Amino acid sequence: MSGLLSGNEALVVALLLPLAGALLIAATGKWPNVREAVTLSTAGLLFLTVLDIYADVEQGIRPAQALVETLPGLPIALAVEPLGMLFALVASFLWIVTSLYAIGYMRGHNEEHQTRFYVCFAVAISSTMGIALAANMFTLFIFYEVLTLSTYPLVTHSGTPEARRAGRVYLGILLGTSIGLQLVAVVWTWALAGTLDFTAGGILTGHASAGVIAVLFALYVFGIGKAALMPFHRWLPAAMVAPTPVSALLHAVAVVKAGVFTILKVTVYIFGIDLLAETGASQWIAYVAAATIILASLVAMRKDNLKARLAYSTVSQLSYVVLGAMLVNVWGVIGAGMHIAMHAFGKITLFFCAGAILVATHKTEVSQMRGLGKRMPITMVAFLIGALSIIGLPPLGGTWSKWYLVLGTLETGDAVLLTVLMASTLLNIAYLLPIPVRAFFDKSDEGDGGGEGGMREAPLPCVIALVITAAGSIALFFNPEPLYALMAQVANP
């Protein structure tokens, strides 16, 4: 596709292509094979389009395209910069893998309303592209809200009373924080600066006192509820009633990554790390993020349900990105951005494995995993790889993002934050590693069939998908340079 589109055209195509795919998916719903071929084809074309944009960004070109002029100086517009480029690359690639996984999972689990699932998924990816490629905070806010609304039917997919309750929590927290806090911050920023454009170094210097900057920044950070910073995190564990491909979308591809991406983007391009460092506005929020890291890890240790344990792990891991942003130094920003990608590959692998276990064995609890490694060796090896990446051990990609976050805390000289990062790694080990250890080294429960009858993995599309993401976690350790190069441009504009 390279060379067929100009950079500006490619931005618009990246936004509209998933929407076109959603329409085709709806039109072909009566023919599952065709519907799923459309899903995979659209995902592949989107990734090629994003790669086309990346080729421009690598050469220092910054494509931009205004879509609609709402008010003078306040357009709905697209523009790409290195942080948005990183997010777009991760989300578009993982849509391909998640779509492949969903084919095996949705069929293997005999899920209903599969066409609606694929349509909503495509709309969610379109809104994710809008967030990644937004030229200003107004545009980002619009697509942020569309992402919430388009994922609500996915959270409530099963239609059970539990799913509907989870959907109410999901909408209540995400819309409540975005309208009650984030929108106030956006309007206030417009009033102070006269612009909402994302600008290297920020747009608020000289426009407000230190006290106003501190309050405004807090409104943004807590108003971006998708980042799941405590106490606005309950929507994430509640949403685990959704099918596993939805959990993958929530945790790795779009929703939570949109949250921490937005926090990082606001930090760098609305406030600027120099202004935040000078005013100290981010310091107390760094401790809120540190507390979230520890508390969520402690809750994860107590959860026997595998998806619930992984959900609280995500709450904890998201706050690594928030903490990196709150350090407001070069290493912190680089580590935070790289962790968006590293966590995406590690955590999506873990959720893929959880779903594969459910489809193949109908097991949902950690205590039921005894001896499962004999029956599902590929799945459990992939789980081990994903877990080691989340922990941050070589040779897995999570090593690099945690390394740069540690460098960022060392630069601040804050012993408490450094201790939190070290302690959280031990907690990661405590709640993740017992799962593969139990699967490979414990005897299966008597009469449960685990380990008997040879291998019995999940459907092939599920296995292929989790192998790809596990391999990606390894590949990111040996070749982190593209991610580092993008984030170095963000931290050193």
- Asked if the structure places residue 151 within a domain, the reply is no
- DSSP H helices, 362-459, are 372-375, 377-391, 398-412, 415-432, 434-441
Vertex 332, ends 329 and 335: CA angle to 5°? Answer: 150
Domain that holds residue 304: 282-493
Spatial distance between the Cα atoms of 251 and 237, rounded to a whole number of angstroms: 10
- pLDDT at residue number 445: 66
**Exposed, middle or buried: residue 128 (CB in 10 Å: 0-12, 13-18, 19+)?**
buried
- Asked if the structure places residue 8 within a domain, the reply is no
Packing angle, helices 330-361 and 398-412, rounded to 10? 140
- Asked if the structure places residue 446 within a domain, the reply is yes
**Exposed, middle or buried: residue 191 (CB in 10 Å: 0-12, 13-18, 19+)?**
exposed
DSSP string computed for 83-117: HHHHHHHHHHHHHHHHHHHHHHHHHHTT-S-HHHH
From 347, 341, 181, select the one nearest 260 (Cα to Cα): 341
> What is the C-alpha radius of gyration for the chain, rounded to an integer number of angstroms?
21
303 SS3 class: coil
Q: How many domains does the chain have?
A: 1
- Asked if the structure places residue 349 within a domain, the reply is yes
Element (H, E) at 260: helix 255-265
Contacts of 7 (CB under 8 A, 6+ apart): 52, 53, 56, 61, 63, 80
Question: Per-residue confidence of the chain (493 residues) as pLDDT tens digits?
Answer: 445 666 688 999 999 999 999 999 999 989 999 999 999 999 999 999 999 999 999 988 999 999 998 888 899 999 999 999 999 999 999 999 999 998 888 877 676 788 888 999 899 999 999 999 999 999 999 999 999 999 899 888 777 888 899 889 999 999 999 999 999 999 999 999 999 999 999 999 989 999 999 999 999 999 999 998 999 889 988 887 777 777 777 767 788 899 999 999 999 999 999 999 999 999 999 999 999 999 999 999 999 999 899 999 999 999 999 999 999 999 999 999 999 999 999 999 999 999 899 888 889 899 999 999 999 999 999 999 999 999 999 999 999 999 999 999 999 999 999 999 999 999 999 999 999 999 998 887 644 444 445 678 988 999 999 999 999 999 999 999 999 999 999 998 6
- pLDDT at residue number 3: 54
- Asked if the structure places residue 90 within a domain, the reply is no
Vertex 315, ends 397 and 111: CA angle to 5°? Answer: 90
Please report, for residues 76, 199, 334, the alpha-carbon distance to residue 64 in angstroms, rounded to integers and kept in the order given: 11, 13, 24
- Asked if the structure places residue 128 within a domain, the reply is no
- Asked if the structure places residue 299 within a domain, the reply is yes
Spatial distance between the Cα atoms of 309 and 341, rounded to a whole number of angstroms: 21
- Asked if the structure places residue 57 within a domain, the reply is no
Packing angle, helices 137-155 and 255-265, rounded to 10? 160
Spatial distance between the Cα atoms of 339 and 424, rounded to a whole number of angstroms: 15
Instruction: Quickly tell me which residue has 């920023």 as its tokens.
Output: 189
- pLDDT at residue number 105: 81
